[in-house]
Amino acid sequence: MDRKVALFGGTFDPPTIAHQIIAQIAYAETDVDEVWFMPCYGHQLNKTPIAKPWDRWQMCQNLSDAMGSNFSVCDFELKTKSEGRLYETLKALEKESKENYELDFKFYPII
């Protein structure tokens, strides 16, 4: 069985009400099963985030906890120290999900 996940990547420095609204709309207006916030480790345009990577992850976790069980946070780009290159991240996530989970994940980026 496939699990459809809307993947919402960004710096989230900090996550804002706009991020929350975008995630809620993505969930409500599509047929995804859940929305994952995915803070990047570094910024691909070489901007320096104010908050540290795992602090931004925690802020996203606090937001997703308040939003309900269909919202969560993915730490993939933090663990791999990625700069948020979407195509490479999607391919790597698809590969990891096939190797480590019984479900097949289908990822849909929120852009």
Average pLDDT of the chain? 91
Residue 65 is encoded by which pair of tokens? 């906890």
Residue 47 has pLDDT above 80, yes or no: no
Residue 93 has pLDDT above 80, yes or no: yes
The number of beta carbons lying within 10 Å of the beta carbon of residue 98 is 11
Radius of gyration of the chain (CA): 13
Task: Please name which of 29, 30, 23, 28 lies closest in space to residue 74, comparing C-alpha atoms.
Answer: 23
CB 110 within 8 A of CB 104: no
Residue 103 has pLDDT above 80, yes or no: no
Spatial distance between the Cα atoms of 73 and 26, rounded to a whole number of angstroms: 15
Rounded to two decimals, what is the model's pTM? 0.91
